[in-house]
Amino acid sequence: MALCSISRFLSSSIRLENPKFLTFHFTTASSADKVFNHLKKNNGGNMEKTLAPFSALLDAKSVSNVLERCYPGQSQMGLRFFIWAGLQSNYRHSSYMYTKVCKLFGIHQNPQLLFNVIDAYRAESCLVSLKTFKVVLNLYKEAKLADEALRVLRKMPDFGLRADTTMYNVVIRLVCQKGDMDMAGSLMREMGSMDLCPDMITFVEMVKGFCNACRLEDACGLFNVMKEQGCLPNVVLYSVLLDGVCRCGNMEKALELLGEMEKEGGNCSPNVVTYTSLIQRFCEKGRLSEALKVLDRMEAFGCAPNRITVSSLIKCFCAEDRVEEIYKLIERVVRGGNVSPGECYSSLVVSLKTNQKPHEAEKAFRKMLDSGMRPDGLACSIMIKELCLEGRMLDGYHLCDEIESLGCLSSIDSDIYSILLVGLCRQKHSLEAVKLARLMLKKGIRPQAPYIDSIVKIIKNSEDEELVNNLTIIGR
């Protein structure tokens, strides 16, 4: 295989209350057909009442089977069935099911479908509960339709119902994501007028929304509102605000907030995520010296950095071509005990390669192996890949063999094996190719289909019939 070809490859289930009635276990296709036929027969007048006598086991598979039979000609019936199923005490829709319904019935493209269901409930004088509207709201939440979710909230009084805090939070979140912070603020004030107290979720979504709109004064002002309502800020809320301030580019304000957290302590004490997020933001802006000062504060506060912290700093050092200083950083963080030398060096190898320093990356990787460190799967894959790109297949094999002795091969990208194997075959390194093929079969690694014929052709020369037969079977 030509080296350019290798390069291209490398880059690329309803139980109801009365046992006297018929029981449908619609875990099979035929049972789902029976339920669908029953729904179709009773469609057109409070069909939920006809479902009530059934004693069947609801699960995701059974619900899916019925919904698929409703699509596309019986969308409203399918949605009513889905909402009814979500009201049963022995079953709860998963997020996957909400996603499936939204895609199946095209809620995002045709949001009026759900309002047609609500209008049908009213026309048929159906008994509608708070939970009914929660299922509908969750569908609009999945479809990310803020205006429609707000409209659902406004329809609830027509049924003598009033939204609770959870439902307001769903709508506030959607409105914030849309960027309509004036409406979000209005909804939060509306909660107060209905004797509903905004909770931590409400404030988190509001802070996120204000930060996304770069309305930092409004975001900070919510902390005073919280305290007045007896809802004390915590590290999660502070971290959300801190990250938002950074995204708005006000790094000085971010440092002030960090100081407030350190001073307040308790539930507001910054943690490793807080510090790491700030370090990452400074690194992204190329302000390495400020990032290192945050690391100093982090360690002084008694919070040890983790691999993500170190990796962010290493990337920044590499980008500024200050590789020698990285080793001092590694010694410093390893002494803390929370990050291993192998994790640090693996991050270094990846960063060097990303910054187009392949020889330095190979040097660092070699130092890892010579010191008995265990490189991670990404670092191993990157190094073997680089050797393959350079046409150094034999070196790639020996490196693979050395990594195998350390027990690290299980995490290497399976594609790398195929590239290395076909490269060994093309360069006539038959002995090494046979050994690698045996290792791949032993580990259950399937060679890539485009190259099996070429591999088998060369492996045949090994006179290992079992190996050839196994590879031939894989290729079929």
Is 296:329 a contact under the CB 8 Å cutoff? no
Give me the phi and psi of 58, to 5 degrees please. -85, 135
Ramachandran assignment for 249, one of left (phi > 0), alpha (psi -120 to 50 degrees), beta (any other):
left
Is 77:110 a contact under the CB 8 Å cutoff? no
Residue 59 covered by a domain: yes
Q: In angstroms, how far is CA 16 from the centroid of its own chain?
A: 36
pLDDT of 465 above 90 = no
307-331 burial, b if ≥16 CB within 10 A, otherwise e?
Answer: bbbbbbbbbbbbeeeebeebeebbe
Residue 356 covered by a domain: no
Is 44:88 a contact under the CB 8 Å cutoff? no
pLDDT digits (tens, 9 = 90+) for 300-348: 999 999 999 999 999 999 999 998 899 999 999 998 888 999 999 999 9
Residues 6 or more apart whose CB falls under 8 angstroms from that of 424 comprise 393, 394, 397, 430, 432, 433, 436
Q: What is the DSSP string of 318-382?
A: HHTT-HHHHHHHHHHHHHTTSS-HHHHHHHHHHHHHHTT-HHHHHHHHHHHHHTT----HHHHHH
Distance, CA of 470 to CA of 102 (rounded, Å)? 45
Structure tokens at 275: 């510090």
Distance, CA of 73 to CA of 87 (rounded, Å)? 24
- Alpha-carbon radius of gyration of the chain: 30
Of 162, 163, 239, 174, the residue nearest 200 (C-alpha): 239
∠ CA 242-248-253, nearest 5°, is 50
Residue 46 covered by a domain: yes
Distance, CA of 452 to CA of 183 (rounded, Å)? 61
Q: What domain range includes position 48?
A: 22-162
Type and span of the H or E element at 390: none
Is 191:227 a contact under the CB 8 Å cutoff? no
pLDDT digits (tens, 9 = 90+) for 126-179: 889 999 999 999 999 999 999 999 999 999 999 999 999 999 999 999 999 999
pTM for the model: 0.77
Type and span of the H or E element at 468: helix 465-475
Residue 44 covered by a domain: yes
Residue 378 covered by a domain: no
Looking at residue 118, its amino acid is I
Question: Would you state the torsion angle of the CA atoms of residues 110, 49, 119, 147, taken in this order, to the nearest 10 degrees?
Answer: -50
Residue 184 covered by a domain: no
Looking at residue 227, its amino acid is K
The number of folded domains in the chain is 1
Task: Report percent pLDDT > 70 for the chain.
Answer: 84
Least confident of 32-46, 138-152, 267-281: 32-46
Residue 93 covered by a domain: yes
pLDDT mean over 371-398:
91
Q: Does residue 17 sit in helix, strand or coil? A: coil
Residue 113 covered by a domain: yes
pLDDT band at 410 (very low <50, low <70, confident <90, very high): low
Task: Report percent pLDDT > 90 for the chain.
Answer: 60
pLDDT for the residue numbered 431? 84
